[in-house]
């Protein structure tokens, strides 16, 4: 068989490819792989960041099962993810449906609905939430006007959880954008054909839109689940994990152990458990949906 | 490719371990001031920030070659920030530190031995006891800025409107609840946000009653389980007598905000506060000028005033990793002893512990205000010095957990006391190993 030779206009040699991807490799090794391995090793030590770390094997992992804060934070995180993710998917899908209409000025609405996602959970939002939800806040004033009893938002577990879920729900922009693009890619002919056969809007939604968006729904489900399990900012800023740790997520536990109590070994071990939880849940979602 | 993989794995495994055994590099003092930039960090309220920035301006005028870069913010999250900077080797050259950080960070030689920098820091204005607060294992790791204690401060307008006197005894304080209840006003409140304040007053109450220290200077739990229960019972009594808001109302009304930012405090619905003399400025600024006044230290019915606590409200330390120890020391000396600087800073960090700074403030007529009143009252009674162990973040977590469980009635005072006693004992044993 004749061996082909190719022109080599840019002078590519044996290691050129390796050199070209080196910036990525260096970045990946230093900022992803190294912290990853380092975190695992640190998780097997008793380390306060000051004294030399003592190798303790899996003791940090064993301690987790007797740590009431850890058990509480896992329960809270699961509860939070189970409430938030479905609500967010439904809400962003419905909003994307509304914003997919081709009417004049729709661009303004699309931009406006994305703004909460840019704001994030910063100090201004925390102050706004305080104006809304403290005992004399706007929400309670409104409830009183319509004849309902005011709610103790900050001091009862369920309302406190609702407040942080609402904040994240409000920031539905990124998942909405993904849905919006996918909806606009669905050929109009399908809807026209269905309409000719007497199909209404609701049926068209369930029999055309949802099946056509299956992959995108799955993508959003995975992304939102991962981000819900990593939740830290919203409960930290708004409720501080209170009342009675009913909004204390795994992210907050890691933060407290790492920065407040200098239990760096333990914080790293919990981070690995969080990583495993997310990996298992994602794998399960792939398996269930047979992706 | 295999070779590359093996090399990469070996590298990744070796780096974290070798980092742990990293050798610390200290810059020895060279006895002269070279041009450089120094980072200086502190926490505080706006009054302290404004004064400190002006003091830095004065330094920069006098030392144009040594530039000071300020890093400042509120107390919330400050320990976490500094902790990650110290652990990550990026600590500011000069730091305002909290008392318990001497326990948390000194073990690993994170602070410079200021004894080596005597050429630039004049400590002749300090008495030995005050200097000893900054010592750890025989080394002078920090210098006390001011000595302070928590005292009670009241909204004078509200008290006048009720025709009420500031309480002198615990019983008088408890009786005030009834008087103020009609209009839904609370005589005082204990800010749970800053950690430990709610527990603190109960500790003083029991220390006065029993003469025991809650935590000893060497980190032993001085209270018995029964003493802790007494303290929690007293806390509950404050809530039940409408002296303070319970945790539920406080959380509902203030959200996650600090008490001095709370509409309830600003509007006078909460008419008093327990606060460090050195930090009361932020409460003072929330109310019209002259409205907040210092009240007496509470005693029992026999006039026994023991049990109130004092501590170095804050200290200045130089990072062990600074490249400019001489320059940092000179700046610390300026902050502590310079007359003009003292005049600018006033009492924003409490009454200065340095006699030179005090003299200067006295001459300029600036030695006044709530911090001074609080300081004078504390100097007239038999105080205990707080153990740095009492202020550790994990310990504050134990106090807050107990207070919350008692306040929300999720636990009775006996069970909460037992849990707190066990947790503290176990934790103190662990950190002292």
DSSP string for residues in A7-64: --TT---TTHHHHHHHHHHHHHIIIIIHHHHHHHHHTTEE--SSSPPEE-TTHHHHHH
CB contact under 8 A, B252 and A38: no
Q: Are residues A51 and A165 in the same domain?
A: no
**pLDDT tier, B15 (very low <50, low <70, confident <90, very high otherwise):** low
Q: Are residues B86 and B128 in the same domain?
A: yes
Residue count of chain A, please give it: 291
**Contacts with A153 from chain B: Cβ below 8 Å:** 252
Q: Are residues A127 and A46 in the same domain?
A: no
CB contact under 8 A, A50 and B108: yes
Mean pLDDT score, A184-191: 91
Q: Are residues B387 and B370 in the same domain?
A: no
Report the CATH number that the domain containing residue B335 is assigned in CATH: 3.40.190.10
Domain presence at residue A102? yes
Domain presence at residue A246? yes
pLDDT of B273 higher than 70: yes
Domain presence at residue A204? yes
* Comparison of pLDDT for B194 and B252, the residue scoring more: B252
Q: How far is CA A206 from the centre of its chain?
A: 26
Domain presence at residue B8? no
Count of the separate structural domains present in chain A: 2
Q: Are residues B134 and B228 in the same domain?
A: no
The tokens of A265 are what?
A: 């070994």
Pairing, β B94-97 against β B36-43 = parallel
Q: Are residues A148 and A21 in the same domain?
A: no
Q: Are residues B255 and B290 in the same domain?
A: yes
pLDDT value at residue B368 = 81
- Does residue B370 contact residue B293 with C-beta atoms inside 8 Å? yes
Answer with the one of B374, B391, B406 that is the final residue of a domain.
B374
**pLDDT tier, B272 (very low <50, low <70, confident <90, very high otherwise):** very high
pLDDT value at residue A107 = 85
Q: Are residues B219 and B281 in the same domain?
A: yes
pLDDT value at residue B22 = 46
pLDDT value at residue B8 = 55
Q: Are residues A42 and A140 in the same domain?
A: no
Q: Are residues B277 and B400 in the same domain?
A: yes
Count of the separate structural domains present in chain B: 2
Q: Are residues B154 and B165 in the same domain?
A: yes
**B270, β-bridge pairs:** B186
Q: Are residues A138 and A237 in the same domain?
A: yes
- Does residue B384 contact residue B307 with C-beta atoms inside 8 Å? yes
- State the smallest CA–CA distance between residue A53 and chain B in angstroms: 7
User: How many A/B residue pairs have CB atoms within 8 Å?
Assistant: 95
**B317, β-bridge pairs:** B95
A261 CB within 8 Å of a chain B CB: yes
- State the smallest CA–CA distance between residue B256 and chain A in angstroms: 6
Q: Are residues A29 and A123 in the same domain?
A: no
**Which of the residues B78, B110, B245, B256 would you substitute to probe the A interface, choosing the one with the greatest number of A C-beta atoms within 10 Å?**
B256
Q: Are residues A191 and A148 in the same domain?
A: yes
pLDDT value at residue A1 = 57
CB contact under 8 A, B251 and A52: no
Report the CATH number that the domain containing residue A91 is assigned in CATH: 1.10.3720.10
Mean of the per-residue pLDDT values of chain B = 88
Tell me which residues of chain A, numbers 232 to 251, contact chain B at a CB-CB cutoff of 8 Å.
237-240, 242-244
Of A47, A52, A152, the CB nearest to B248: A152
Q: Are residues B68 and B199 in the same domain?
A: no
**pLDDT tier, B21 (very low <50, low <70, confident <90, very high otherwise):** very low
Domain presence at residue A3? no
Q: Are residues B122 and B244 in the same domain?
A: no
Q: Are residues B162 and B272 in the same domain?
A: yes
Q: Are residues A53 and A70 in the same domain?
A: no
Q: Are residues B277 and B175 in the same domain?
A: yes
Domain presence at residue B11? no
Question: Lowest-pLDDT range, A112-121, A191-200, B321-330?
Answer: A112-121
Mean pLDDT score, B349-362: 91
State the residue range of the domain holding B193.
Answer: 149-310+381-432
DSSP letter at B186 equals B
**Contacts with B408 from chain A: Cβ below 8 Å:** 243-244
State the residue range of the domain holding A33.
Answer: 16-59
- State the smallest CA–CA distance between residue B306 and chain A in angstroms: 32
Q: Can you spell out the DSSP letters for B58-77? A: HHHHH-TTEEEEEEEE-STT
pLDDT of B360 higher than 50: yes
- The ipTM of this complex is 0.77
Mean pLDDT score, B319-346: 94
Domain presence at residue B224? yes
Express each pLDDT in B85-139 by its tens digit.
887 889 999 999 998 888 777 655 789 999 999 889 999 999 888 898 898 878 8
**Rounded CA gap, B85 and B71, in Å?**
12
Q: Are residues B163 and B283 in the same domain?
A: yes
pLDDT value at residue A40 = 95
CB contact under 8 A, A135 and B252: yes
Domain presence at residue B111? yes
Domain presence at residue B5? no
Domain presence at residue B286? yes
CB contact under 8 A, B251 and A155: yes
Mean pLDDT score, A83-108: 90
How far the first Cα of chain B sits from its last, in Å, is 47
């Amino acid at each position: 068989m004749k061996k082909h030779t190719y022109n080599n206009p840019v002078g590519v040699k044996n290691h050129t490819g390796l050199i070209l991807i080196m910036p990525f490799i260096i970045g990946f090794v230093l900022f992803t792989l190294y912290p990853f391995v380092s975190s695992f090793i640190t998780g097997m030590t008793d380390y306060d960041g000051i004294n030399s770390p003592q190798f303790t094997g899996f003791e940090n992992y064993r301690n987790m099962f007797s740590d009431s804060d850890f058990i509480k934070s896992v329960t809270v995180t699961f509860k939070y993810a189970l409430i938030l993710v479905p609500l967010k998917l439904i809400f962003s899908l419905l909003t994307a449906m509304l914003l997919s209409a081709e009417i004049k000025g729709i661009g303004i609405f699309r931009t406006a609905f994305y703004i909460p996602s840019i704001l994030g959970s910063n100090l201004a939002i925390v102050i706004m939430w305080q104006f809304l939800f403290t005992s004399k806040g706007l929400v309670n004033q409104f409830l009183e006007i319509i004849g309902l009893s005011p709610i103790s938002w900050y001091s009862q577990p369920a309302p406190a959880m609702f407040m942080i879920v609402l904040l994240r729900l409000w920031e539905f922009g990124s998942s909405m954008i993904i849905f919006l693009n996918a909806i606009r890619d669905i050929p109009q002919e399908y809807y026209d054909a269905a309409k000719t056969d007497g199909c209404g809007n609701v049926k068209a939604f369930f029999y055309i839109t949802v099946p056509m968006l299956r992959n995108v729904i799955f993508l959003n489900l995975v992304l939102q689940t991962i981000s819900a399990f990593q939740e830290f900012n919203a409960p930290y800023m708004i409720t501080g994990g209170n009342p009675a740790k009913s909004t204390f997520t795994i992210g907050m536990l890691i933060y407290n152990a790492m920065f407040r109590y200098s239990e760096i070994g333990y914080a790293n071990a919990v981070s690995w458990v969080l990583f495993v939880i997310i990996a298992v849940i994602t794998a399960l979602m792939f398996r269930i949906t047979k992706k | 490719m295999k070779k590359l993989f093996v090399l990469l794995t070996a590298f990744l495994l070796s780096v974290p371990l070798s980092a742990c055994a990293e050798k610390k590099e200290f810059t020895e003092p060279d006895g002269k001031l070279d041009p450089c930039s120094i980072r200086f960090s502190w926490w505080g309220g706006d009054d302290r920030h404004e004064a400190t920035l002006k003091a830095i301006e004065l330094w920069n005028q006098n030392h144009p070659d040594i530039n000071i870069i300020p890093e400042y913010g509120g107390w919330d999250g400050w320990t976490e920030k500094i902790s990650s900077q110290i652990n990550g080797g990026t600590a500011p050259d000069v730091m305002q530190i909290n008392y318990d950080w001497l326990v948390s960070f000194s073990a690993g030689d994170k602070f410079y031995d200021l004894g080596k920098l005597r050429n630039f820091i004049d400590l002749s204005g300090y008495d030995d006891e005050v200097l000893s607060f900054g010592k750890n294992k025989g080394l002078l790791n920090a210098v006390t800025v001011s000595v302070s204690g928590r005292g009670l401060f009241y909204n004078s307008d509200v008290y006048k409107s009720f025709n009420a006197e500031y309480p002198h005894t615990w019983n008088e304080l408890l009786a005030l609840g009834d008087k103020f209840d009609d209009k839904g006003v609370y005589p005082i409140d204990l800010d749970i946000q800053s950690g430990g304040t709610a527990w603190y007053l109960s500790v003083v109450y029991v220390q006065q009653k029993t003469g025991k220290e809650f935590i000893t200077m060497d980190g032993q739990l001085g209270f018995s389980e029964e003493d802790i229960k007494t303290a929690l019972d007293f806390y509950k009594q404050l809530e039940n007598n409408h002296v303070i808001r319970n945790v539920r109302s406080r959380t509902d009304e203030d959200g996650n905000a600090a008490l001095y930012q709370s509409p309830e405090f600003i509007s006078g619905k909460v008419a008093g506060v327990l606060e460090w003399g050195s930090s009361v400025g932020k409460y003072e600024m929330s109310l019209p000028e002259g409205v907040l006044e210092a009240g007496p230290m509470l005693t029992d019915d026999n006039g026994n005033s023991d049990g109130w606590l004092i501590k170095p409200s804050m200290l200045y330390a130089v990072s062990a990793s600074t490249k400019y120890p001489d320059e940092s020391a000179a700046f610390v000396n300026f902050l502590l002893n310079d007359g003009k600087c003292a005049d600018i800073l006033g009492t924003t960090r409490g009454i200065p512990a340095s006699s030179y700074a005090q003299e200067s403030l006295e001459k300029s007529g600036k030695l006044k205000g709530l911090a001074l009143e609080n300081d004078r009252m504390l100097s007239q009674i038999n105080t205990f010095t707080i153990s740095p162990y009492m202020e550790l973040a994990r310990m504050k977590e134990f106090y807050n957990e107990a207070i919350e469980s008692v306040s929300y009635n999720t636990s009775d005072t006996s069970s909460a006391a037992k849990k707190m006693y066990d947790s503290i004992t176990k934790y103190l044993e662990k950190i002292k190993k």
